Amino acid sequence: MKIFVTGGCGFIGSNFIHYVLKNYPDYSVINVDELTYAGNLKNLSGVSQSPRYSFLKGDIADSVLMEGVIRQEIDAIVNFAAESHVDRSIEDPSRFMKTNVFGTFVLLEAIRKTSSSRSIRFLHVSTDEVYGSLGAAGAFTEETPMAPNSPYSASKASSDLMVRAYHHTFGLATLITRCSNNYGPYQFPEKLIPLMISNAVEGRELPVYGDGLQVRDWIHVEDHCRALDVVLHQGRAGEVYNIGGQSERTNLSVVRTILDHLDKPHSLIRFVKDRPGHDRRYAIDFSKIEKTLGWKPLILFEEGIRQTIVWYQAHPEWWMEIKTGAYLDYYERMYGNR
């Protein structure tokens, strides 16, 4: 099988490429990534010389490039390419509209125009944030109405609807997954867990939004890759599959867990002004994928967070280069020079 991965130099995309090449010795991967601030070729240095892996620098909104790649007898597309940080979407929504909405449209159009004689499976990787915010109880199901509360989640909801429309209108073999919060190796250090780990290692203050009691369901990226694998191969075209980690935690408890693992004082926590429209709670009901495809998360949060902390401790050169580069200005603007 030849898989076209978009956004494969990002966090989840790079982990998925590692997963595929490790578990499917007869598969090949073409990775297209624009290498914006969160795309990092070093995430894939371990496979860059493999004859089963190739990389093209490019934008998924480039219709000529996308059609050219898809004509290379592609069997499946896994679309990770997305602007994904909520704070950045509040500062500048325009890039989110371009990549997340228009870019997805370009991909779908390229499939429609070039694959009349064969069926390409298109797996669109989305987020639980399209559902909005939950109260104290309950969980999102695939039937939960979408109610996005940020420009980021609105752009992802829009792209989900476009994917759905191209299945129902043009018969494309599309699939959508909506996952809870990921963590693990190669996650860009503006996200909660790598930011807290790297700051704690450096002895810097740990900025926590509001009261820190926002609840998220956490899943290790390896479990997510396993889920994407089973959906890509066995999922029913036109369906949506929720993916969850069965591990709800408040942001504050996650931060305290990290500090405890690193033997750092809780006094490093600094509460900062909450961001606008901050969703209070997410929780995923993944019973559909469990019952129909036999998937469930295997990595408990306690073990997964330990592994993740060890990885970031072992790879300071990876995240230090990022945090002392262009990202630094953004960090200081968001959290202050402390």
In a domain, 285, yes or no: no
Model confidence at 324, pLDDT cuts 50, 70, 90, reads: confident
Residue 192 lies in a domain: no
- The reported pLDDT for the residue numbered 329 is 59
Q: What distance separates the 2 farthest-apart alpha carbons in the chain?
A: 62
Which residues have a catalytic role annotated? 128-129, 152
pLDDT at 338: 35
Q: Flag whether 299 is in a domain.
A: no
The partner residues of 76 in beta bridges, in order of sequence, read 3, 121
b/e burial code for range 98-108 (CB count within 10 A of at least 16 → b): ebbbbbbbbbb
Contact 318, 187 (CB under 8 A): no
CATH number of residue 106's parent domain:
3.40.50.720
pLDDT at 106 over 70: yes
Packing angle between helix 316-323 and helix 301-314, nearest 10 degrees?
80
Q: What is the DSSP secondary structure assignment for residue 213, as one 8-state letter?
A: -
Domain count, the chain: 1
179-204 mean pLDDT: 96
In a domain, 49, yes or no: yes
Per DSSP, the chain holds a count of helices (H) and strands (E) of 13, 12
Q: Is 184 or 332 the better-scoring residue by pLDDT?
A: 184
212 lies in some domain: no
176-212 burial code (b ≥16 CB/10 A, e <16): bbbbbbbbbbbbbbbbbbbbbbbbbbeebbbbbbeeb
DSSP conformational letter for 212: S
Residue 258 sits at φ, ψ, to 5 deg, of -60, -45
For residue 330, tell me if it sits in a domain. Answer: no
Q: DSSP states of 101-167 as a string?
A: IIIHHHHHHHHHHH-TTSPPEEEEEEEGGGG----SS--B-TTSPP---SHHHHHHHHHHHHHHHHH
Average pLDDT over residues 27-47: 94
| Mean pLDDT, residues 56-62 taken together | 97
Question: Which is higher by pLDDT, 209 or 329?
Answer: 209
Confidence at residue 28, expressed as pLDDT on a 0 to 100 scale: 98
Q: pLDDT category, 27, cuts 50, 70, 90? A: very high
d(CA 102, CA 100): 6
pLDDT confidence tier of residue 214, bands split at 50, 70 and 90: very high
Neighbours of 267 (CB within 10 A): 9
Residue 257 above 80 pLDDT? yes
Q: Tell me how far apart the terminal alpha carbons of the chain are, to the nearest angstrom.
A: 49
Q: Is the pLDDT of residue 328 over 90?
A: no
pLDDT for residue 254 is more than 50: yes
Find all residues with CB under 8 Å of 316, minimum gap 6, and list them: 201
What pLDDT does residue 275 have? 86
Share the mean pLDDT of the chain: 93
* Mean pLDDT across 125-150: 94
- Could you tell me what percent of the chain has a pLDDT over 90? 84
Between CA 218 and CA 223, with CA 220 as vertex, the angle to 5 degrees is 115
Sequence-distant (6+) residues with CB within 8 A of 72 are 2, 30
For residue 326, pLDDT beyond 80: no
Structure tokens at 45: 């240095």
Give the angle 223-32-153 at the CA atoms, nearest 5°: 60
Would residue 292 count as lying in a domain?
no
Per-residue burial over 325-336, b if 16 or more Cβ lie within 10 Å, else e, is eebeeebeeebe
197: Cβ contacts below 8 Å, ≥ 6 apart: 258, 262, 308, 309, 312, 313
Task: Give residue 15's domain range.
Answer: 2-183+220-243
Domain annotation covers residue 207: no
pLDDT at residue 238 greater than cutoff 80: yes
